[in-house]
Amino acid sequence: MRARRKTSRQSDQQTREAAAAVALTRLGTWLEERGLKHSRQRDVIVEAFYAMGGHVPVDGLVARVRALDARVSVATVYRTMKLLAECGIAVPRRFDDGQTRYEPASGRAHHDHLICTGCGRIVEFENEKIEELQIRVAHGQGFEVDSHKLELYGRCERCRRGGGAGSKGASP
Ligand SMILES: [Zn+2]
Ligand SMILES: [Zn+2]
């Protein structure tokens, strides 16, 4: 594993905490507009979600949240994440392993994913040419594209070298 300097990890954490604070404010406004209550449990879930970073599997989030507060039910975590998706704070992802994952949506551009079938690693990418090509292919068939998901499955460099196989995550 690549060693990261303490300072960069600290600023990473600060960025996540700031993003969590922004998300909580937005969620609060969204709930208020709908006459719904803000709960401390929701705060814990949102903070844990941002602290985990990346593409968070819901069951992983459940484990983390319940370690912080055992009174939070599994159903509450699932419901809260659906709520976050509804108000545009999180984007649900479902890759081939069948798990539902969420990633933070705030301030992020469209991207696609590379998924390692060995270790479950998920890498984001954007490629202008691919984006254009997809639109052209669709136009050629008389389609207007609203959205798309591109997922490339394969083995990451580490797994191809035999370093990361079977450590966790996606099914082979
Ligand atoms: Zn891998
Ligand atoms: Zn992503």
Give the pLDDT confidence of 60-118 residue by residue, as tens digits: 999 999 999 999 999 999 999 999 999 999 999 999 989 999 999 866 788 999 999 99
Binned at pLDDT 50, 70 and 90, residue 170 comes out as: very low
Q: State the distance from the centre of ligand 1 to the C-alpha of 26, rounded, in angstroms.
A: 35
Ligand nearest the Cα of residue 54 is: 2
Ligand nearest the Cα of residue 172 is: 1
Q: How far is CA 96 from the centre of its chain?
A: 15
Q: Which helix (H) or strand (E) holds 63?
A: helix 58-68
Distance CA 117, CA 95 (A): 11
Q: State the distance from the centre of ligand 2 to the C-alpha of 124, rounded, in angstroms.
A: 5
Q: State the distance from the centre of ligand 1 to the C-alpha of 79, rounded, in angstroms.
A: 31
Q: State the distance from the centre of ligand 2 to the C-alpha of 114, rounded, in angstroms.
A: 9
Q: Is 75 in contact with 81 (CB distance < 8 Å)?
A: no
The residue type at 102: Y
Q: Does residue 1 register a pLDDT over 60?
A: no
Q: Does residue 42 register a pLDDT over 70?
A: yes
Distance CA 90, CA 103 (A): 5
